[in-house]
Amino acid sequence: MPSIGSTLEYLKGYYYIQDLSSCIAVDELEISGNNNCMTVLDMASSPGGKTTFIAQKMNNGGKIVACEPNPKRIPSLIFNLSRCSVKNTSVFNIFGEDVGKLAISFDRILLDAPCTCEGIIIKDETRKKSRNLKDIEFCSNRQKKLIDSALQVLKPSGIMIYCTCSFAPEENEMIIDDLIRNNEDGNIEIVPLKYGVDGLTEFGNHQFKKDISKTKRLYPHIHNTNGFYIAKLRKK
Q: Which residues are catalytic?
A: 165
Contact 111/150 with Cβ under 8 angstroms? yes
Sign of the torsion formed by the C-alpha atoms of 39, 44, 50 and 56? positive
Q: Cα(201)–Cα(187) distance, rounded to whole angstroms?
A: 21
Q: Cα(124)–Cα(120) distance, rounded to whole angstroms?
A: 6
3-state secondary structure at position 106: strand
For residue 40, list its beta bridge partners: 64, 108
Q: Write the burial class of residue 191 (CB in 10 Å: 0-12 exposed, 13-18 middle, 19+ buried).
A: middle
Dihedral, 188, 219, 64, 182 alpha carbons, nearest 10: 20
